[in-house]
Amino acid sequence: MSTPRSPKRILRLFLILVFGFGLVSWLLTLHFASPSSSTSSLLTKEHHIPEAFELPNTLNLSQSSPWSKDSWVQEREYQLNVRQTVPELSFLQRLQIYETQGHNTSALLQLPTTTSNDSNNSITAIVRAIDKQSLRMQLDALTSQIMPIHILWIVCSASLQTDSESYATKHRSSKLEILVINSDDIFTTTRGGKVYPDQSAGSSPWLPLLSRVQTDYVWILEDGVSPNSDYLKTIYGLMQTEEYKDALLGSHATLLPANLNPVANKKVARSQLHCLPAAFHFLPKLTQPVDMLHHVWFLRASWIPYLLMDRRMDSLSSPLPYYISQSLLSQASIPSIVIPPPPLSSSSATSTSTTPLLLLNNLRSSISCINVIPAAYQQSGPWKRVLALRSNPTALDQRQRSLMTTYETTKMLLFIDGPNEAKAFLPLLCRFTSSSNGTRPATQMDSLHVVVSGKQRGFSGALLSTIINSTSDCPIKPVIHDLDLYVVSDPRGIASQTSLLLSRLVQALQPRIFLHIQQDTPMFHALDLLAKSHHLSTIQLPADEIKHALWISNLPLDTLQYWNHVKLDLVVITDRRPHSLSRLLNSIGHSKYLGDKVDLTIHMEQSADRVTRIFVNSFYWEQGAKIIRHRIRKGGLMPAIIESWYPSDNNHYGVILEDDIEVSPLFYAWAKYNILHYRYNHDNAEAYPWMYGVSLYSPRNLELMPEGRISFDPNDVLLPADYPPRTPYASQVPCSWGAVYFPEHWREFHQYLTSRLLDLESSHPRLNIFVPGSRSERWKKSWKKYYIEMVYLRAYVMVYPNFQDFESFSTNHLEFGTHIKHDRAQGAIDSFVVPLMQRDTLINQLPSQRLPSIEQLPVMDLWGKLMTHEEMDDIAANWHQHVSACTRRQPFDRFDPQDMLCPFPIDHTTANASTSAVTTKKKAVKTPPKTKHMLEHIEYVTVYLDEHQQHDNGTTDDPAVVFDMDTWDERPEPLDVASMTTSASDHAHEDDEFKDLEENWDVLLKITRPQSPST
């Protein structure tokens, strides 16, 4: 037999005990999790109500996750995201957004206080008497507090005034001053004939009295409740801690349903109204933010002005607890925090281990949250309107945001202040759905939140909703938030109020994009500061330029967040053509820049004349910095273009413009739309390695045919291939008559050109790079020859516009020097001048009112032949083997030209023969004779003229002094660099492309014909 102490028997007994304990724990869990069961005898006495109440459907919104203690505070991954969005948050701020956990009762008692001397702080208590019995209990409770009060105000009706005076006489002492106030007198003087719902802020008789409080703190008791003897000492001590010194604290509270975010999944359970402490049976017993505190409020005297600011009837018609909590939160960022009940004792499941920190007695079901709040919502139309404004995020909105991380990343917040801004924004607002044609994800169509300043500012949320619903081509249904700002005469006051209210919305919504009007007002600067403090991606548009940015609705929010990353520099190259330069700068100055900061750099050639220099110096540029450069040695067009701009990073773009170009007012909008669409849109990521720029010009001829230029209309190529009319296209040809160049490709070209020129200048050039069948091979001194080499070997392309009648965003007036006969050239020049887009038809002319995706973008080679990019890349890869000995880089490893610059091994026999030929040729060249420049000796004579000393015949008073005008005309003059170069020397530095153009006039004149409108 086994002994009683055998190991097997002990093990069996142990397992039985473990199983039994687990079964009992499970049963207890079921018992206390049941909605019909109370968590303790205390809660049973205080609340004979269910734990939740569902408000009417007009207020209910969904929750994305059930309540659970494990997921109450958001995960660490989202905490990092919050820290990136809202930096350096305090404990209370983190608590409100569920980034950190609150404290349980044990932890609260261990918090250190910031002050040690409590005797210096005076306290006024205000009691609203509702009946004799409750008043007697309240006075007994107040006078028996461990921490004494100094002044007591009893606010009562006329029927209770005699009893109140009797009780006051009983408790009045040298240490306690008691004053009885007739509430009927207060209503007569403060209501002004207005009628407010019962138990609303407007019906409170003591609220107007707060301005008379002279003590450091005020303690208010409503609803006949009586606090425990240590209530005041406990709540005062908690308010002296670093964590809760700026919070309104209480033990009874309400959580309203989430009210800001629509949830697409209708199967998700609706959030409900929760009453605490009853709801603590399924919530973690920790301090947490709530929407309102009930029955008792302990306030710092410095908070009182915030309770008296909002005197609008709708606000005063709200329940008193809601008005107090929301006024402190919206006016001073003072949150309401509920103190939890103590946890259940481990020794007994039916009793509490300790008494609640904040214990209230005489709680009746008639004053419980579950009865009062729904009744107030049904009876108070003004409070319904307040909640319908959706301008005050609830605590559950913050909770919802912490759970809906995926949804939260797709929001755009648009702010409208007044009817003028609404009129400007409405066309863009309506395009967020109508322009998508069903292709945009539902998350983006449903993620637009619009904040309006309110009816006092001339435009309410209700009016916006009416306009949207009554506009046939505006199917967008944004979430509208109405701040309902007060009437404030001071613009800075309005801006401050807006910033405070909007900050709470931003914190709750966590939008990706913040869109608002750009103007020099306190409101704009407040919004700009708000966006920076929350690290929001902002789009700030001048009101009159929103109509030029309607394509914003075509771009995903992931793309729009790069709006401010894109930096476009304007680069102007000029010489001695002040008239042409003034035309270009005038067109630049009248362009629309969508609120962006744009720097302008002007490069003047060595020979720039005085008029040009003066004009450049005096030109006013307010969009950004104006930078002026002047060459000291004439270099020609190639270095002038290539050295004019170099990107600082991969978000830096250059718009290169020669002085005979003129731009459309909409050139910047076209450039930025293309850059965002093809460079920052994940759907077009394939374009990143092989798209090198955006042309502003629509060419009317092909310039690279071996036989010379021929007329060209892209629609002759695209329409037979079933592309929609006016489809933009990509071409390998670099545009020199107004274009945007991308940073990675421009840096690669710099390296490529540097190596090519060094090789050509060497005594034995080793590179043999050329483009077969391209007329650019004749342009030895043109930068485009080498750019064409690179794009041909890389299969790079540039986007070109294709609008009706060649309407473009730049045109070239083709102004050559005096060596071109005007009458001979004018007919051909007209074929290069294209109409500029003046009226904004950019969106309307594009197929489907949007730029094509990279898969739908037609691609042409250097000679206007339509092909796929894969075919173009195959041709490039094949030709690479003929011009370079190195293996061609893969597309993901581009932007380094070294693989194109590998010469093939040299045949020594051929090399020696070449060397001999070069030597012989050099011997045959005659050395030019050396010349000396002689400078005659010049005598300088100083002549002083005085008009008052001259006679009418031109002689002076002194007959010995005679002034000879012929001598004066031959006086020395300073050198003028603009007149030192001749037409011949200018022509020597001219780009070979233009020389070829001049030589090709006869062909150009033959192909010049009236242009028929494009289909």
Which helix or strand (DSSP H or E) is residue 506 part of? helix 491-509
Which residues, at least 6 apart from 106, have a Cβ–Cβ distance to it below 8 Å? Answer: none
- Per DSSP, the residues of 600-621 read EEEEE-TT--HHHHHHHHH---
Overall fold of domain 76-344+356-397: Spore Coat Polysaccharide Biosynthesis Protein SpsA; Chain A (3.90.550)
The confidence score (pLDDT) of residue 916 equals: 46
Exposed / middle / buried, residue 853 (Cβ in 10 Å: 0-12, 13-18, 19+)? middle
Instruction: List the chain domain ranges.
Output: 76-344+356-397, 409-560, 567-899
Q: What is the pLDDT of residue 132?
A: 92
Which two structure tokens, joined as six digits, stand for 895?
A: 């932007």
d(CA 877, CA 413): 47
Secondary structure in 3-state letters for 346-379: CCCCCCECCCCCCCEECCCHHHCHHHHHHHHHHH
Alpha carbons 616 and 45: distance in angstroms, whole number: 85
Location of structure tokens 């029955």: 295
Q: What is the structure's pLDDT at 76?
A: 37
Q: Mind listing the pLDDT tens digit for each residue in 446-462? A: 578 999 999 999 999 99
Strands, E assignment, 784-938: 797-800, 810-812, 859-860, 866-867
Measure the CA–CA gap between 789 and 767, rounded to whole angstroms.
12
Is 567-899 the same fold as 409-560? no
Structure-derived torsion over alpha carbons of residues 659, 664, 670, 675, reported in degrees to the nearest 10: 20
Distance CA 479, CA 451 (A): 8
Bond before 277 cis per omega within 30 degrees = yes
- CA dist list (Å): 913 to 769, 906, 908, 917, 921: 21, 12, 9, 6, 12
Which of 427, 479, 397, 682 is closest to 561 using CA atoms? 682
Give Cα 256 to chain centroid, integer Å: 30
Q: Mean pLDDT of successive 10-residue segments in the chain (1015 residues)?
A: 46 48 40 33 31 42 39 44 55 90 93 76 94 93 94 94 92 91 76 76 91 95 94 95 96 91 48 86 92 97 94 90 95 94 62 74 88 87 88 87 58 94 95 54 62 94 93 87 85 91 88 94 96 93 97 94 97 94 97 97 93 95 96 88 96 96 98 98 93 96 88 95 97 96 97 94 91 90 93 97 97 66 60 91 95 97 96 96 92 87 73 45 50 48 49 46 49 60 55 64 56 45
User: How far is the C-alpha of 944 from the C-alpha of 133, rounded, in Å?
Assistant: 113
Question: CATH code for 567-899?
Answer: 3.90.550.10
Tell me whether residue 769 is exposed, middle or buried, using C-beta atoms within 10 angstroms of its C-beta: 0 to 12, 13 to 18, 19 or more. Answer: buried
CATH number of 409-560: 3.40.50.2000
State residue 103's pLDDT score.
95
Maximum C-alpha span of the chain: 158
- Burial (CB count <10 Å: 0-12, 13-18, 19+), residue 441: exposed
Report the pLDDT value the prediction gives residue 271, as an integer from 0 to 100: 57
